[in-house]
Amino acid sequence: MEPTILQGYELAKQLYAKHGIDVDQALRQLEKIKISVHCWQGDDVKGFLFRDQELTGGISVTGNYPGAARTPQELRMDLEEAFRLIPGKHKVNLHAIYADTQEKPDLDELEPRHFEPWVAWAREQGLGLDFNPTCFSHEKSKDGFTLSHPDPDIRKFWIEHCKASRRISAYFGEQLGQTCVTNVWVPDGYKDVPVDRMSPRIRLKESLDEVFAEPLNPAHHLDAVESKLFGIGSEAYVVGSHEFYMGYGLQNNKLICLDAGHFHPTETISNKLSSLALFAEGLLLHVSRPMRWDSDHVVVMDDELLDIGRELVRGGLLEKTHIGLDFFDASINRVAAWVIGTRNTLKALLRAFLEPVDELKKAELDGDYTARLALTEEFKAYPFGAVWDYYCASQGVPVRETWLEQVRTYEREVLSKREQAAAPAQL
């Protein structure tokens, strides 16, 4: 390790120690954090099962940066490259459309064997897997409804798909010895104000009850449900609203998934964590960055990301919270997007571990709001960067922005060649 990194770390340790903060202990805590890195940033949410289907479900990817993965092999290579630049051991979050198989199963026919190469790869890389049924970009979701569809046959199709997804998840968990979280998100909703808000919600509830009927080992598999305020084409009404899934999750012991982009523009998920954690079985986060709408920009270290980190640490919520990422930007290098978003999420947690939480809580209880504000503000300039650099170096990943050069090399040697070469045969 470069001596300057070590020196910076030692100096930082002394400064933090004055407030009773054990920096080595903070890094041990950070090392335990697993971020669920979403595979869909690598190929603009296309997947491999239905490459000719356009992206639907009221979500959208913009940009045409070269080098998107076209096969599972390419996607895994890109993820490996990203993980070489991110400290720690993490998880990969797969959607059902990312099955790696020569067969052509429909979504309701998916089985664990269609994901076997992902399991073998995750095992070899020491990664965990998470999972999602894909209730969009499919012939049977083209009118915008899935689990709450008025047609029982279409509903049945999506129920079977979600049931299959849970079994795949349990297989992942059992094979990898790490719990697989499977998150159900459906786009169902109306563009304009509906007459009947109730019936679709009754149908969604009944469908979910069927989906979750089969008991599965919680050591292998956990269910999560994700709400949304609106989507493109469902601006007026989304069946699976926050209130819907909060109620469903609390009543049925499901993890409640909070996506940072799924609320009103000034509403933050950080402020919801302590309340929900008191009552919910557990939480799943989709760390994202909405800009004016659910735009899914790459996560940056903004106030909301820092507040999410602080809430998780100060409230002791890390034990019951699963942290996933959810953004998709096709206007920049996709490997860089993963690296930036994941490193920022880890940095935000590190900053939270390096705060004098006990001292701040005491000041608050004593009614000393002056000290609370003064300390909080001064700590924003404390040398967390020196601690982060040391952490990266000790984990064998590039320090500061040196990772960018590695991404540039990968772009030159691998990604840029994809545009010239014909897509590999299995497409």
Ligand X SMILES: C[C@H](O)[C@H](O)[C@@H](O)C(=O)CO
Answer yes or no: are the C-beta atoms of 60 and 232 closer than 8 Å. Answer: yes
Contacts of residue 203, defined as CB under 8 A and 6 or more positions apart, other chains included, come to 147, 148, 149, 150, 155
Interacting residue with ligand X among 100, 226, 329, 389 (CB under 6 A): 226
**161/351 with CB nearer Mn ion:** 161
- Could you give the CA distance from residue 55 to residue 335 in angstroms, rounded to a whole number? 21
Q: Is 296 annotated as a binding residue?
A: yes
- Could you give the CA distance from residue 67 to residue 46 in angstroms, rounded to a whole number? 14
The least CB distance from residue 224 to ligand X, in Å, is 10
Q: Which of 130, 311, 326, 411 is catalytic?
A: 326
Answer yes or no: are the C-beta atoms of 36 and 346 closer than 8 Å. Answer: no
Amino acid code (one letter) for 112: P
- Could you give the CA distance from residue 279 to residue 293 in angstroms, rounded to a whole number? 29
Does 228 help bind ligand X (rule: CB under 6 A)? yes
- CA-to-CA separations, 192 to 204, 264, 422, in angstroms, rounded: 19, 18, 43
Pairing between strand 321-325 and 283-287? parallel
Tokens at 45, concatenated: 């949410």
Q: Does the active-site annotation cover 185?
A: yes
Does 40 help bind ligand X (rule: CB under 6 A)? yes
Q: Does the active-site annotation cover 326?
A: yes
Q: Does the active-site annotation cover 228?
A: yes
Q: Which of 185, 338, 388, 403 is catalytic?
A: 185
Q: Which of 44, 259, 329, 389 is catalytic?
A: 259
Q: Does the active-site annotation cover 267?
A: no
Tokens at 399, concatenated: 């320090």
Q: Does the active-site annotation cover 262?
A: yes
Does 286 help bind ligand X (rule: CB under 6 A)? yes
Interacting residue with ligand X among 81, 294, 304, 355 (CB under 6 A): 294
Q: Does the active-site annotation cover 106?
A: no
Contacts of residue 6, defined as CB under 8 A and 6 or more positions apart, other chains included, come to 390
Does 43 help bind ligand X (rule: CB under 6 A)? no
The least CB distance from residue 418 to Mn ion, in Å, is 27
Answer yes or no: are the C-beta atoms of 204 and 186 closer than 8 Å. Answer: yes
Does 389 help bind ligand X (rule: CB under 6 A)? no
Q: Which of 13, 91, 254, 286 is catalytic?
A: 286
* Residues binding Mn ion (CB under 5 A): 259, 286, 326
CA 358 to the chain's CA centroid: 30
The least CB distance from residue 60 to ligand X, in Å, is 10
**72/189 with CB nearer ligand X:** 189
Q: Does the active-site annotation cover 296?
A: yes
Helix (H) / strand (E) element for 181: namely: strand 180-184
Q: Is 262 annotated as a binding residue?
A: yes
Q: Does the active-site annotation cover 259?
A: yes
Residues at the annotated binding site for Mn(2+)?
262, 294, 296
| Residues binding ligand X (CB under 6 A) | 40, 45, 59, 132, 185, 226, 228, 259, 286, 294, 326
| Active site members | 185, 226, 228, 259, 262, 286, 294, 296, 326
